[in-house]
Amino acid sequence: MFKKVLIANRGEIALRINRACHELGVATVAIFSEADRQSLHVRHADEAFCVGPGPVMRSYLNIPNIISAALISGCDAIHPGYGFLAENARFAEIASDHGLTFIGPTPAVISAMGDKATAKRLMAEAGVPTTPGSDIVANVDEARTVSAAIGYPVLLKATAGGGGKGMRAVHAPEELATAFATAQAESEASFKDGRLYVEKLIVNPRHIEVQVLADEHGGVVHLGERDCSLQKPSHQKLIEEAPAPHLDDALRERLHTIATTATRAVGYTNAGTLEFLVTGGDLYFMEMNTRIQVEHPVTELIYGVDLVKEQIRIAAGEALGFTQDDLNTHGHAIEVRVNAEDPNNNFAPAAGTLTTVVFPGGPGVRVDTHVYGGATVPPFYDSMLAKIVAVGRTRESAIVRMERALAETRIEGVKTTVDFCADVLADPEFRAGGVGVAWLPAFLARRTAAV
């Protein structure tokens, strides 16, 4: 096991990793920007280094300063969390070059999965169903030929993409040229890589992802699926649950089998998530996230497995302490993201000081947060303040528990997503379960119209 781990992140996930390290008896080093000096993730770590000013380019993405902090403090490993440098193969490589274990898969796998077109090709080769589509298209003419073959509507996607950037839906041939130019420009601006590929546009699919763990000795297990179909119009997830409701048993098993097969095929190690679009009885591989996900707690609560501890154990060379047969689930879990955002104004992020902070407690409720009464929300970072997770014996009991948890939550000083999420939970269609990714934007539009 490692002696000391540098946590290359901030916020709730930095605290989450700090908890896992401390429970494993591993010392921790936090990094922080000048804007985060008062943050809980700094307070709870054994050591902490300021790595730069508030803006992420100069602090949380500042590779030399972060690696330097790890070396100076005598760390033997780095946990990247999610976001920031978590899927940066170059960062993993530099860490490795300096004798630091990167807690995640190998740089080669990060790199292959990070390039969406490559990932799709590799998965197809491993027998994983992928959305009908092309490899990288050189220009708009090639895109037109391919789109005609696939049949409209299609999606233009950036191979370096993520978070919906460099992505455009095209419903008819005459829209293609403009969409191509826009997507290419956006991708170039966001990722310094303007390469695009074409994919069949699946209308209102469900977003279902499978959690896997793979050790460095050939051990691979899945920890079931999560339904992340409740996404804001920006495609950011807002409410997640596990298991996915109303999923045909055969389809569920197929998802799990495909995930473990693919994990083995690409030589994956550590924790990872394969994202699928599911529509009717069909599933299509979308992408593989080579890191811990924000929504990992819903899986932890029903499997009783600490995924972050497993990440660290795997990176330290340990074999998984369980096989697929040892894993079973209890009940249903649901997560709500409490963001400092205004749901009545396009989820515009809000910064400020939290005057009141009261989180829920009691049975079946887990809160992961880095904020507290009096904390400031800096303007530089992700707007997530907390994850509230509820577990119950059934989906309905988990939802009811979440409703009472949200009713107990009081955050003042900034606008949050708490009340909006409570409205979602109360909606009969959500309650029935199994909605697609188009549901939440439609709900939002209905709600806005009603106000």
Residues designated as active site? 291
Q: Write out the residues near a second copy by the rule CB under 8 A.
A: 15-16, 19, 22-23, 25, 40, 44, 297, 300, 304, 306, 330-331, 356-359, 361-369, 372-374, 393, 397, 400-401, 403-404, 407-408
Q: Return the number of the residue (51 or 405) whose C-beta is nearest other proteins.
A: 51
CB of 30 to other proteins, least distance (A): 11
CA nearest 48: which of 66, 72, 60, 31? 31
Q: Write out the residues near other proteins by the rule CB under 8 A.
A: 34-35, 37, 49-59, 62-69, 71-73, 98, 376, 378-379
Q: Which amino acid is at 300?
A: E
CB of 136 to other proteins, least distance (A): 26
C-alpha 444 chain-centroid distance:
22
CA nearest 207: which of 240, 246, 167? 240
Q: Tell me the C-alpha distance between 368 and 374, whole Å.
A: 17
Q: Return the number of the residue (352 or 374) whose C-beta is nearest a second copy.
A: 374
CA nearest 413: which of 350, 337, 338, 347? 350
434 contact choice in other proteins, a second copy, none (CB below 5 to 8 Å, kind-dependent): none
Q: Which amino acid is at 305?
A: V
Q: Return the number of the residue (300 or 341) whose C-beta is nearest a second copy.
A: 300
Backbone region of residue 10 per phi and psi (left: phi > 0; alpha: psi in -120 to 50; beta: other values): beta
CB of 55 to other proteins, least distance (A): 3
CB of 421 to a second copy, least distance (A): 17
Radius of gyration of the chain (CA): 21
CB of 294 to a second copy, least distance (A): 14
- Token pair 């233009």 in the structure block, residue: 156
Is residue 267 helix, strand or coil? Answer: coil
Q: Return the number of the residue (255 or 391) whose C-beta is nearest a second copy.
A: 391
16 contact choice in a second copy, other proteins, none (CB below 5 to 8 Å, kind-dependent): a second copy
Q: Return the number of the residue (52 or 133) whose C-beta is nearest other proteins.
A: 52
Name 6's bridge partners.
Answer: 29, 78
Q: Which amino acid is at 410?
A: R
401 contact choice in other proteins, a second copy, none (CB below 5 to 8 Å, kind-dependent): a second copy
49 contact choice in other proteins, a second copy, none (CB below 5 to 8 Å, kind-dependent): other proteins
Phi and psi torsions of 409, nearest 5°? -80, 130
